[in-house]
Amino acid sequence: MITKFTRRAALTAIVAAGMVAGTAMPSFAADMEFTLATSGSESDQRSAAMAEVFAPMIASFADYKPGYNGTLFAQGTELEAISRGNLTMSIASAQELAQFFPEFSIFATGYVHQDAAHQVRVFNNPLMDPFKQKVEDELGVKLLSVMYLGRRHVNLRQTREEVNVRTPADLKGINLRMPGTDAWQFLGAALGASPTPLAFSEVYTALSTGAVDGQDNPLPTVVDKKFYEVTKQIAMTAHLVDLNYIAFSKATWDSLSADQKMTVQRAADAAAAYGRLKQLDKENSLADFIRSQGVEIYTPDLAAFRTHVQAQYVGSEAAASWPEGVLEEINALGN
Ligand code: KDO
């Protein structure tokens, strides 16, 4: 806790300095450069949406410069880079934000969001305002829009004969790669597995060598990163309807004219909406292809997973950070 607090206080100071620098920039700048860092690939739907929709919409005043596969900044370091003024944008997760603001773990909790539309209703609801404001004030990052990554499932190297996943008890001892933050590790343990933190860029190799037993991601990611080549089964746990935020430098934002701000906001919303539709489409159509590659896909006992995962959060340190009543508000926005 002390580390987090110290880190946050330091960042607040950095941001304050950055914002002063930001306001000194000319608001009419015609040749700005918006750099974006993501650990996703170029063909990932979120990357494609940014390149195909966001970039042309802001082209009259800014060049869009994306860096894929964690090449500009390593996974999990992007928000700090924006905060320090070294990066304009990222495709940020709630789990990354929870490292600075533990209450963001509520959006990273298993079986909370129900679907893509629910994510949008939650993001646009006034309940999000204090969350967004805090990120802006203390990290110097504006959360422009919510992107859909999809339903995460458990994807293992073992055949179903070796490991048949019906309930969380069947994941006991399974070395499951999860991204490297507390919120992700908690979710992996809540599923009943033994979570191992690993950067996204390392997952394929770790699966192929057997350094880990499995990973969790939505079907489009399994195809995009060819995880089907090195795994044998997917248990459709749907334990997290995963999202990302389009994160934007507050210092750069403050340097834009009112028209430019409106254009950036519209471009982010349009890219998120476009990417969401594409991702939903892929999610609904990729199972046959994955099966044709020799990967068995099946649905475990979802009620058992939901009950077990939710029970792990009750009384947890993460849940203690959630503002009173917000979980109920999120649930009320569901179907
Ligand atoms: C991953 O590392 O498994 C993950 O899916 C986590 C997401 O939050 C997101 O960052 C994503 O990776 C990357 O954008 C790569 O697709």
| Alpha carbon of 200 to ligand 1 centroid (Å) | 6
CATH numeric code, 2-149+242-283 = 3.40.190.170
Cβ within 8 Å of residue 254, ≥6 positions away: 19, 22, 23
Q: Are 179 and 200 in contact (CB under 8 A)?
A: yes
- pTM for the model stands at 0.91
Residue 168 beta carbon below 6 angstroms from any ligand 1 atom? no
* pLDDT grade for 16, boundaries at 50, 70 and 90: very low
**Is residue 26 scored above 60 in pLDDT?**
no
Q: What residue owns the CA closest to ligand 1's atom 7?
A: 93
Write out the two tokens for 35: 């750099």
Distance CA 101, CA 245 (A): 15
Q: What is the pLDDT of residue 52?
A: 98
**Is residue 20 scored above 60 in pLDDT?**
no
Q: What residue owns the CA closest to ligand 1's atom 6?
A: 179
List 176's β-bridge partners, or say none. Answer: 195, 214
> Averaged over 275-303, what is the pLDDT?
98
| Alpha carbon of 191 to ligand 1 centroid (Å) | 18
| CA proximity to 266, closest of 28, 57, 92 | 57
Q: Are 38 and 67 in contact (CB under 8 A)?
A: yes
Residue 39 beta carbon below 6 angstroms from any ligand 1 atom? yes
**DSSP 8-class letter at 321:** T
> Averaged over 58-63, what is the pLDDT?
97
Tell me the CATH class for 152-240+286-332: alpha beta
More confident residue, 57 or 30: 57
Residue 88 beta carbon below 6 angstroms from any ligand 1 atom? no
Write out the two tokens for 9: 């206080």
What is the average pLDDT value for the chain, to the nearest integer?
Answer: 92
- Closest ligand 1 atom to residue 216 Cα is 3
Distance CA 331, CA 114 (A): 9
CATH 3.40.190.170 residue ranges of the chain are 2-149+242-283, 152-240+286-332
* pLDDT above 90 coverage of the chain, percent: 90
* pLDDT grade for 14, boundaries at 50, 70 and 90: very low
Distance CA 67, CA 220 (A): 20
| Alpha carbon of 218 to ligand 1 centroid (Å) | 10
Distance CA 287, CA 275 (A): 19
Write out the two tokens for 210: 């057997």
- Closest ligand 1 atom to residue 91 Cα is 14
> Averaged over 52-61, what is the pLDDT?
97
Torsion of Cα atoms, 167 then 172 then 177 then 182, to 10°: 90
pLDDT in tens, 92-146: 999 999 999 999 999 999 999 999 999 999 999 999 999 999 999 999 999 999 9
More confident residue, 6 or 69: 69
Q: Are 34 and 58 in contact (CB under 8 A)?
A: yes
Helix (H, G, I), strand (E, B) or coil at 323: coil
- How far from the centroid of its chain's Cα atoms is residue 120's Cα? 14
Distance CA 49, CA 43 (A): 10
C-alpha separations of 275 from 26, 65, 147, 283 in Å: 32, 18, 7, 12
**Is residue 301 scored above 60 in pLDDT?**
yes
Pocket test for ligand 1, best of 44, 104, 217 (most atoms within 8 A of CB): 217
**Is residue 292 scored above 50 in pLDDT?**
yes
* pLDDT grade for 73, boundaries at 50, 70 and 90: very high
Residue 217 beta carbon below 6 angstroms from any ligand 1 atom? yes
